[in-house]
């Protein structure tokens, strides 16, 4: 409940580290790629499900989706470790409770996406579990809405509220209040 730092826990950093920033943008590009190109795995997925052999190009497209998705999972593990050990700067002062709640909820959904999407995809692809593929499939609109809210939030912070929220996800140095 309290905003105080618990004994033994490091104070919140004033900025994200370079590694956190790099991971954020590399993973953002990977997620956009996965969502935009996601349907390319469809033909190979249907072929496996129906017990037929997919065309070589379809299998290649599927392998790209699987490899990039597994890469997201590997980077997510590193990212969550850094989030726990380094922490994150506090949200700007003077935000409404509603704004803070939305920002935190969207971040939680995005963390869920980078962990649960590779896992559900892998269970579907390697385990042939169709229900996991269905969950994976229906997650797409949720991801699109969460990323859209996230991007609008970042742009409003930068251009309307003129806070350093976007800048601190671009450059690691300390920013004056």
Q: Which of 135-168 are b and which e, b meaning 16 or more Cβ less than 10 Å from the residue's Cβ?
A: bbbebeeebeebbebbeebeeebeeeeebbbeeb
Taking the complex as a whole, how short is the minimal distance between the CB of residue 98 and ligand HEM, in angstroms?
15
- Quick one: which segment of 1-9, 51-59, 93-101, 116-124 binds ligand HEM (CB under 6 A)? 116-124
**131 binding ligand HEM? (CB under 6 A):** no
Taking the complex as a whole, how short is the minimal distance between the CB of residue 55 and ligand HEM, in angstroms?
16
Given 82, 107, 149, 156, the residue binding ligand HEM (CB under 6 A):
107
Q: Which residues, 6 or more positions from 124, have their beta carbon under 8 angstroms from its beta carbon?
A: 45, 130, 132, 133, 136
Length of the chain (residues) = 177
- Quick one: which segment of 2-10, 51-59, 94-102, 146-154 binds ligand HEM (CB under 6 A)? 146-154
Given 63, 151, 161, 174, the residue binding ligand HEM (CB under 6 A):
151
Q: Burial, 44: exposed, middle or buried (Cβ in 10 Å; 0-12, 13-18, 19+)?
A: buried
Binding mask 63-102 for ligand HEM (x = CB under 6 A): --xx--xx-x----------x----xx-x-----------
Name the nearest CA neighbour of 114 among 69, 62, 146, 64: 69
Q: What letter does residue 88 receive in the DSSP assignment?
A: -
Name the nearest CA neighbour of 161 among 98, 113, 93, 74: 93
- Quick one: which segment of 4-12, 34-42, 50-58, 93-101 binds ligand HEM (CB under 6 A)? 34-42
Binding mask 8-27 for ligand HEM (x = CB under 6 A): ----------------x--x
**54 binding ligand HEM? (CB under 6 A):** no
- Backbone φ and ψ for 149, nearest 5 degrees, come out as -60, -40
56 vs 159 by CB, closer to ligand HEM: 159
């Amino acid at each position: 409940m309290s905003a105080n730092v618990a004994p033994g826990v490091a104070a919140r950093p004033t900025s994200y580290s370079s590694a956190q920033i790099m991971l954020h943008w590399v993973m953002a590009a990977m997620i956009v790629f996965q969502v935009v190109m996601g349907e390319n795995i469809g033909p190979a997925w249907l072929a496996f499900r129906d017990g037929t052999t997919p065309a070589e190009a379809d299998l290649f497209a599927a392998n790209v989706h699987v490899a990039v998705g597994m890469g997201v999972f590997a980077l997510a593990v590193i990212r969550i470790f850094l989030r726990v050990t380094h922490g994150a700067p506090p949200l700007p002062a003077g935000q409404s409770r509603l704004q803070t709640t939305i920002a935190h909820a969207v971040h939680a959904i995005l963390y869920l996406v980078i962990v649960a999407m590779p896992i559900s995809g892998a269970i579907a692809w390697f385990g042939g579990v169709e229900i996991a593929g269905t969950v994976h499939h229906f997650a797409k609109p949720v991801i699109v809405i969460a990323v859209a809210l996230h991007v609008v939030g970042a742009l409003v912070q930068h251009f309307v509220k003129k806070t350093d929220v976007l800048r601190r996800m671009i450059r690691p140095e300390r920013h004056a209040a």
